Structure 1
Amino acid sequence: MSELFLKKEEVIKLTKYKYSAYQKKWLAKRNIPFWEDREGSPVIMRSYFLNTENTSISAEDKPNFGAL
């Protein structure tokens, strides 16, 4: 595949599992977004791990329940 997605070897290294069923359970438990390819293997966007700039929620992003 392209560099947009993690390679199968990288998914194995990340999850420590070789089989896709265990990989998907591991990813779902950690709320890491993925989808399945035709073979049933998880496909993970590399950008999920590279986007570290906006990881915290600022006060502007939080809802103002006092305004209701």
Structure 2
Amino acid sequence: MIRIDPEVLDEARAIYRLSSDEQLAHKLGVSGSTVANLRAGRTTPTIATLMCLKKATGRPLDTLVREIEAPAA
């Protein structure tokens, strides 16, 4: 499973000088709950969200995410 590295969200907030995840959500064009779910690792980021974060941070795509093992069924 692919999950966003929460530090990337913090970095984007700092770059944009935003004080909340709600403001970051608006900047990324997603809902506040989406950013909260990304931060908590409950959802997989979309390509569009990754591209926005790549543009904001200047980081390569592979450094924006981390791969975690899916829970055993």
Q: Where on the TM-score scale, by shorter chain, does this alignment land: which range?
A: 0.3 to 0.5
Looking at CA atoms only, which structure, 1 or 2, has the larger radius of gyration?
Answer: 1
Output the TM-score relative to the length of structure 2: 0.35
| RCO comparison, higher one (Cα < 8 Å, 6+) | 2
> If each structure's helix is expressed as a fraction of its own residues, which one has the higher value?
2
